[in-house]
Amino acid sequence: MEIQVLHQVMDWNEDVSDAVKQTLAGQHICMINVMGSPGAGKTSLITALIQRLKANFRVGVIEGDIAGQVDAERIAALGVPTVQLNTDGACHIEAMSIQKILPALPLDRLDVIFVENIGNLVCPAEFRIGESLRMTLLSIPEGDDKVEKYPLMFTDTDCLVLNKYDMLPYFDFDEARVCANYEAVNPSAPLFRVSSRTGDGIDALADFLSGHIARAAR
Amino acid sequence: MEIQVLHQVMDWNEDVSDAVKQTLAGQHICMINVMGSPGAGKTSLITALIQRLKANFRVGVIEGDIAGQVDAERIAALGVPTVQLNTDGACHIEAMSIQKILPALPLDRLDVIFVENIGNLVCPAEFRIGESLRMTLLSIPEGDDKVEKYPLMFTDTDCLVLNKYDMLPYFDFDEARVCANYEAVNPSAPLFRVSSRTGDGIDALADFLSGHIARAAR
């Protein structure tokens, strides 16, 4: 009789993440995992990026929320395929949820999928979801001590977006401190200064993402 | 032979929370569990409250952080007994951690302990830590959709603090929406409009807390 070996939850999540990654690679789709605190401006940034990217790429969105669908409604209003993923209390998205929900998107007609993770600077960083790229947001009003206090989220990302950058004059935010802390834990990943409201910095970020999307499409 | 019954983690946390509560009741100490997003302003608010409360009460602080001790250093500079609780990656504080760390505080010389929980709008709400009172912070820059998107944090609190209230003119924040959502899920708990920076609203909140601390002291 064969003995069934149960993986630990974290290992199992990694396995499913690899399977999702393979599915997406087969479809030449780039999946971007968007993470940050509640209110860091994830939905607004995704909205601004879609407006820049949609001329060249076919975009889809998975909107993660604990409850409700206010964000999914905002995104769907842009006319891009959007599915709502409610975690029903869970503080992060796991790869299995992505695997289950992918068939709800028209994968054969997409180049990039944005996944808006749950607003949380901790747990989402621990769970790969099959993404090609991780994008962490830190908004100016959150303060300049976040890289020190929530290290994994900044160590394990492919780029950092300083969002609500137009709010810098109104807050006591030491930008040099954030840059130094970020470079110390993640020296090779770029940093973008962005305001989704004014549009400043969105082009540079969209160019960076376009490079990744184009590579996945090959 | 007696069979050992293992509780589930959540039940076990509740048991330890009850034990902590009993210990604190025996010492006539009020413990306040301070929760909110990263950057909502928990440390600054605790600092402002200590300055108001210390004339009448003996205050201690447990500073929860995933890593580091920047906040504990800020609080200790006020001359109040402070202990740092590092969760080493965990996204919330559990009752067992509080039980273990309590002996590091001079309990026989305290009336109130503030516990600054990990910056997170999700998981801390699920874990009681033996607190007498829960205080949830929502800062204006985080946006007006948070009660809908993170319901448990607002349902299971004894008061809501709208922090960074002086920033209202700079953000597109629909206060009536937040108030209506909060009242719908938590009709009896009060709401305070506060700016730790200007000091506006701190007195009213300190008065509310003073009532609870005085009751615990009886």
Q: Is B147 left (phi over 0), alpha (psi -120 to 50) or beta?
A: alpha
pLDDT band at A181 (very low <50, low <70, confident <90, very high): very high
User: Strand runs (DSSP E) across chain A, as ranges?
Assistant: 30-35, 59-65, 82-86, 112-116, 133-139, 159-163, 191-193
Side chain identity at residue A105, one-letter code: L
Q: Does A149 touch chain B (CB under 8 A)?
A: yes
**C-alpha separations of B33 from A121, A165, B62 in Å:** 19, 31, 10
Q: Does A39 touch chain B (CB under 8 A)?
A: yes
Question: Do A193 and A201 contact (CB within 8 A), yes or no?
Answer: yes
- Burial class of residue A212 (count of CB atoms within 10 Å of its CB; 0-12, 13-18, 19+): middle
Burial A164-183 (b: 16+ CB within 10 A, else e): bbbbeebbebeeeebeebbe
Q: Is the ipTM of this complex over 0.85?
A: no
Minimal Cβ distance to A148: which of B70, B123, B139? B70
Contact A118 B119 (CB under 8 A): no
What is the tens place of the pLDDT at every residue in A20-47?
A: 999 999 999 999 999 999 999 999 999 9
The Cα A124–Cα A116 span in angstroms is 11
The Cα B55–Cα B101 span in angstroms is 26
Contact A120 B122 (CB under 8 A): yes
Q: Write out the H or E segment, with its range, that includes residue B153.
A: helix B151-155
pLDDT at A3 over 70: no
Q: In the A/B pair of chains, how many CB contacts fall below 8 A?
A: 106
**C-alpha separations of A88 from A65, A84, A118, B37, B151 in Å:** 8, 12, 11, 19, 10
Minimal Cβ distance to B68: which of A67, A68, A149? A149
For chain B, the average pLDDT equals 93
What pLDDT score was predicted for residue B31?
98
Q: How far is B114 from chain A (nearest CA, A)?
A: 19
Question: Do A112 and A29 contact (CB within 8 A), yes or no?
Answer: yes
Question: Do B29 and B216 contact (CB within 8 A), yes or no?
Answer: yes
Mean pLDDT of B172-176: 97
Please give the full DSSP string across A44-60, using - where no structure is assigned: HHHHHHHHHHTTTS-EE
pLDDT at B36 over 80: yes
- Determine which of A140-149, B6-15, B26-35 has the lowest per-residue pLDDT on average: B6-15
pLDDT at A86 over 50: yes
pLDDT band at B6 (very low <50, low <70, confident <90, very high): very low
Identify which has the larger pLDDT, B187 or A5: B187
Side chain identity at residue B170, one-letter code: Y
Q: Does B72 touch chain A (CB under 8 A)?
A: no
What is the tens place of the pLDDT at every residue in A117-135?
A: 999 999 999 999 999 999 9
